[in-house]
Amino acid sequence: MKKLILVRHAKSDWPEETEDFDRPLADKGLEEAMHMSRFMKNNNVAIDYFVSSPAVRALNTCKIFNQSYNINITTNEKLYNPSESNFESVIYDLDDNVNSVAFFSHNNGISNFANSISEDIFHFPTCGVAGFEIDCNSWSEFDGAKKRLMFFYDPGKIK
């Protein structure tokens, strides 16, 4: 069994004359990310590896989560402005020693991808997190593997 966790970046700001890629997190986003990462760690959501979009708001969300997890982080351009096939491409590049991975990415791509692998209808709020159990031993088996939603956390609804 493998576990795939999808995290939409936390609430971002859009200061004047800032490119989309360089948008920082808003103060609310910093709080959301700290709250969600602690919630997940306290609820024993195990993660071996983080892969983030290199965009500032996604990577900063990932770095805040890593204050709770202290694991390896890598970035992948395919998670910025992603299509569903971008997510699959990143999945197929994963080492099979990684049993649980979290991707930090953006809407609409992250919502579309979650909906493409699940019967459940998702619209990710900022810093929303969905966890899936993938019935496979190798990430190369992802496409044909049975997928089951384990959890969906909305930062506005967790304590």
Cα dihedral value 22, 158, 103, 137, nearest 10: 180
pTM over cut 0.85: yes
**Superfamily, domain 2-7+30-153:** Phosphoglycerate mutase-like (3.40.50.1240)
- Whether residue 119 has pLDDT greater than 90: no
pLDDT of residue 143: 94
Query: Residue 23 annotated as binding?
Result: no
Annotated domain spans of the chain: 2-7+30-153
Q: Which long-range contacts (CB under 8 A, 24 or more apart) does 44-49 make?
A: 45/5, 45/131, 45/151, 46/3, 46/100, 47/3, 47/5, 47/71, 47/100, 47/101, 47/102, 48/98, 48/99, 48/100, 48/101, 49/74, 49/94, 49/98, 49/100, 49/101, 49/102
pLDDT of residue 121: 78
Q: Phi/psi of residue 35, each to 5°?
A: -65, -50
Mean pLDDT of the chain: 96
